[in-house]
Structure 1
Amino acid sequence: MTALPGLVLFAVAMSGTPGPNNVMVTASGATFGLRRTMPHVLGISVGFPVMILMIGLGLGPVLVTNPAVHRGFKWLGIAYMVWLAARIATARRPDAKGANRRSRPLSFLEAALFQWVNPKAWVIAAAAMSTFVSLADNLWVQTGMIVIVFLLVTLPVVSAWAGIGSGIGSVLRSDRQFRAFNLAMATLLVLSIVSLFYER
């Protein structure tokens, strides 16, 4: 409990700083609106704490210490992020003339599973477990506390990013402005993944 204030501040900072999740929900909010982006937001808000729980149960070290699996996740993450960036860059308003009618935001499950190939999610999860878990105390209780804090913090923070995107989308008057914004979001998504891999 003495570490709880620090854990909450850590969760707010990590959930609120720009990264793949926040870039994607901002772009989704601008393209599809806040309501249609909420399954994406909920997928992140639930999927990431579940990932922390699985790491706390011992799955994380198994994946990270196995070089083949680690490389596989790394390159799967790169490929998927590039595909998502291309999808964002070419997105048009759903009501725009000639827009792809099959275009849609990520679903709850897609967003939840995305956490496992999101390098920033791995960095945050590893930092949370190494900083706020003591071997002298009950691992289950500590992991549970981290999971609960991220569940409570991630939803409002990521929702705010989606709301910002929705607000931006409402002031983008022309297709040209909209395409420029989506191209900027796609570029930020690629840069976020590149910078994280260079850090590692």
Structure 2
Amino acid sequence: MKELLLPVSLFALSMCATPGPNNMMLTASGANFGFRRTIPHILGIEFGLLFMFVLNAAGLGLAFKTFPILQSILKIVSVGYLFYLAIRIAFSKPVNISTNTQAKPLSFLEAAAFQLVNPKVLMMALTAMSTFSIAGNHYSLSVSLIIAIFGLVCIPSISLWAGFGVLIGRMLKGRKSHTAFNLLMSGLTAGSVLLIV
């Protein structure tokens, strides 16, 4: 099992720390709501990601092969949810200049639910399980190790994006600059639809 540690860790880092829908949304949340209010969003991503890994280990990939229509349904739901999140980002108002008390970051449950339709997370889980898991007697142990490594790598990796957003939020001056930033993050989140279709 020791031979899995380095390759799985590098794969987890490359997947969790690179741009994608989660990290774009965390950057926007950090800029608009601060790091502390973004923590439930971070924890929701972690929980949802690990849950997807468990589902894949239990045979979700096989279900997609057996019933290809499931993948098409997932794409439609993913596109719709990403557009919903992009619109939500576009109309977010930073707490320090907003009088709209309804503006709020994604909750733990919203962030966790998004992982079930997040195409990057699905691809990550399918690739990790098919590439690094060991068939036979060591399957359960190898899967547990993969999930544990992703669990350890995910939180600090995605937290950096929220922290980056906090720094950006401090540099933005006034409502116009925040609006422009939110529109940029919204466009990048919506643009990730191109990775799906």
TM normalised by structure 1 equals 0.92
Percent identity between matched residues is 42
- CA distance 1:109–1:125, change in 2 (3 Å): same
What residue number does 1:197 align with? 196
RMSD across aligned positions (CA): 1.5
SS in 2 for 1:2: helix
What residue number does 1:58 align with? 59
What residue number does 1:158 align with? 158
Distance 1:192 1:65 in 2: 27
The residue type paired with residue 53 of structure 1 is: V
What residue number does 1:20 align with? 21
Distance 2:29 2:73 in 1: 27
Distance 1:70 1:33 in 2: 36
- CA distance 1:58–1:44, change in 2 (3 Å): same
1:40-119 matches, cutoff 5 A: 40-63=41-64, 65-97=66-98, 99-119=99-119
- Contact 1:50/1:147 (<8 A) preserved: no
Whether 1:129 aligns to 2:129 is yes
Distance 2:58 2:33 in 1: 37
Unaligned runs of 5+ in 2: none
Corresponding residue pairs, total:
196
Instruction: Deviation per CA, 1:160-179: give whole Å up to 9, x if none.
Output: 11011011101101211111
The residue type paired with residue 21 of structure 1 is: N
TM normalised by structure 2 equals 0.94
Distance 2:104 2:64 in 1: 32
Distance 1:63 1:127 in 2: 14
The list of structure 1 runs, each at least 4 consecutive aligned residues, that deviate by more than 3 angstroms after superposition, is none
